[in-house]
Amino acid sequence: MTNKVLLLSIFLLLFSTGANAQLNQSDTLYKTILEKDSLLFSVGFNTCDISQFENLLSDKLVFMHDKDGVSNKQQFLNNIKNGLCKNPSVRQVKRVLQNESVTVYPLYRNGVLYGAVQNGSHLFYDPTGSTPGIAKFSNVWQLENGSWKLAISSSFDHRPYSGDIKPISLDNDAAVENWLKQNNVKTLGLGIIEGGKLKQVKVYGTLKDSVQAPFNTVFNVASLAKTVTAMVTLRLVSLGKWNLDEPIYHYWIDKEVKNDPRHKKLTTRMILSHQSGFPNWRYLNKSNTLSFEFEPGTKYQYSGEGFEYLRKALEAKFKKPLEQLAKELIFQPMGMHDTSYLWNEREYESRFATGYNSDAKPYINAKNKTANAADDLHTTVADYGVFLTSVLSGNTLSEEVYREMIKPQVKTKDNKYFGLGFELYDLGDKEYAISHGGSDNGTQCLTFLLPKTNSGIIMFTNSDVGYRLYNELLVYYLGAKGKKLIEIESNN
């Protein structure tokens, strides 16, 4: 194929996207492509981790640069290794994606997704302070044996950058504030655990009406409610008041499954490891009723309904609402005075991080008057940091119960498992991470604990696009382990 034919075919592929509409930023494919971009550049390019390039570049890569010409995969890798990454300890250039510029279009063949076009702009800057450059790019990502690979990439229109927004420096609060604006995220809550203690709590950004977010900003952390429900339950197990493997029907039977004999097989262990057999939520069923989708205990399926089933069983036995059980067993003993399953108008009016969509439009706040065991927990970074340090130490659980909590109960993806209430990442060399996230309208939150080093990170945001911040924060604060976590997540 001649160079002219090659360039023409690439041009047509990159720019003939009218048949498929541009994806919304909340679309799963959009998030996937942004995740691959971050793994390739935030981890690979910016830290000179050449293995990330080798994993994410197609063997048939065509890379076009408006100053350096056309390269194949091997030429591109050689240029990186012998040029920008020849001496990683004195790294000269870093790349920062301008998130607001990114558009993603799906590519289909006979109705089957096979690729995606990603267009946008990115900055390249010298961390020592010289004027950054800016360029446009077009990337074609292609599915190869089920994995996303960069197949075609062009970088063009390179010029000096004269904008006001500076690249991120996580050591500089003003730069972080600008970084949030670049990513259209209103508020970031950040907690850093070192030596088994919460060493750092920072809250960046603004609340409603551009009011600076305070240190004790209250976030809706969505599914992180499940971790508290799990610890309430495991605390009761440790005290000998609840049994992991006793059938739940002894205390509660939902009327919508009472005629299905499978309800007699359901146990707390199955619920906490997401093997209940229930859908995530009953309203997702056409009948809008609860039903078993498979035999309890036979496979993994994430389910909020399971946790709500457990809540009703706990409340039936102990004659107390979950909120009270949590106060007695978790919140009050740990001094978590800013944490609740319930909405508190008086406390939250001036310091609650209202959730926003990808266009920075606010959602209506969920104001629960009854605890949801699986969703809508309200807490601060400081409170949840205290909670996670307790999880890390295991000091509120018996040794036997703690071992069960961190034991892989079911495999969910490659190198990922669910224990009891928490997700587990296999980092290799007998090292693992304990994790859970929260994702809902107007909230994206993620936490990781590293027991081997007694360290961890808490990331709370009040935006549908808060996930954009994760990879930079993980690499910056957790280093090689952060990179490994990103790699595991990206490969699934």
First to last CA, the chain: 35
> At how many degrees (to 10) do helices 381-393 and 225-238 cross?
40
Integer Cα distance of 262 and 260 in angstroms: 5
pLDDT at 349: 81
The pTM of the full predicted model, rounded to 2 decimals, is 0.77
Taking residues 353-362, what's their average pLDDT? 90
The better pLDDT of the pair 172, 277 is held by 277
Tell which wins on pLDDT, 132 or 61.
Answer: 61
What is the pLDDT, as a whole number, of residue 161?
A: 75
Residue 487 has pLDDT above 50, yes or no: yes
**Closest among 110, 115, 135 to 124, alpha carbons compared:** 135
Q: Average the pLDDT over each of 7-11, 132-136, 403-407 and give the range with the smallest value.
A: 7-11
**Higher-pLDDT residue of 125, 489:** 489
d(CA 250, CA 377): 28
Q: Taking Cα atoms as reference points, which of 452, 260, 463 lies closest to residue 363?
A: 463
Q: How high does pLDDT run on average in the chain?
A: 89
User: Rounded distance, CA 413 to CA 419, Å?
Assistant: 13
Q: What ranges in 223-342 are assigned the alpha helix state H?
A: 225-238, 268-272, 304-318, 322-326, 332-334
* Helix (H/G/I), strand (E/B), else coil: 17: coil
The whole-number pLDDT of residue 130 equals 60
Q: Report the share of the chain in percent with pLDDT over 70.
A: 91
- The average pLDDT across 422-429 equals 96
Under a CB-based contact definition with an 8 Å cutoff, are residues 121 and 134 in contact? yes
Q: Per residue in 100-120, pLDDT tens?
A: 788 999 999 999 999 999 999
| Dist CA 417 CA 280 (whole Å) | 18
Distance of CA 29 to the CA centre of its chain: 15
Give the pLDDT confidence of 288-330 residue by residue, as tens digits. Answer: 899 999 999 999 999 999 999 999 999 999 999 999 999 999 9
pLDDT over 90 for what percent of the chain?
A: 64
Q: What is the DSSP string of 89-143?
A: GG---EEEE-GGG-EEEEEEETTEEEEEEEEEEEEEE-TTSPPPEEEEEEEEEEE
Residue 129, pLDDT score: 53
Q: pLDDT tens across 118-154, in order?
A: 999 988 876 555 667 889 999 999 999 989 999 999 9
Short-list 174, 124, 190, CA closest to 469: 190
Which two tokens mark 22?
Answer: 């541009």
**What SS3 class is residue 416?**
strand
Length in residues, the chain: 492
Q: In the structure encoding, which two tokens stand for residue 335, read together?
A: 């001094």
pLDDT band at 5 (very low <50, low <70, confident <90, very high): very low
Nearest-5° Cα angle at 245, 267 to 386: 85
Mean pLDDT value of segment 18-43: 79
What is the distance between the alpha carbons of residues 447 and 449, in angstroms, rounded to a whole number? 7
Query: Mean pLDDT: which of 91-100, 161-170, 447-456, 473-482 is highest?
Result: 447-456
For residue 14, what pLDDT is reported?
A: 47
pLDDT band at 166 (very low <50, low <70, confident <90, very high): very low
Alpha helices in 381-469 (DSSP H): 381-393, 399-405
Place 337 in a pLDDT band, splitting at 50, 70 and 90. very high
In this structure, of 43-52, 163-172, 232-241, the range with the lowest mean pLDDT score is 163-172
3-state SS track over 234-246: HHHHHCCCCCCCC
From 457, 475, 406, select the one nearest 434 (Cα to Cα): 406
Name the most confidently modeled range: 5-14, 58-67, 207-216, 238-247: 238-247
**What's the CA gap between 304 and 225, in Å, rounded?**
10
Q: Which DSSP letter does residue 212 get?
A: B
Mean pLDDT for the stretch of residues 72-80: 90
CA distances from 276 to 6, 233, 295, 444 (A): 53, 16, 8, 25
pLDDT, residue 211, reads 80
The answer for residues whose C-beta is within 8 angstroms of residue 474's C-beta and 6 or more apart is: 448, 457, 482, 483, 485, 486
Dihedral class, residue 326 (left if φ above 0, else alpha if ψ from -120 to 50, else beta)? alpha
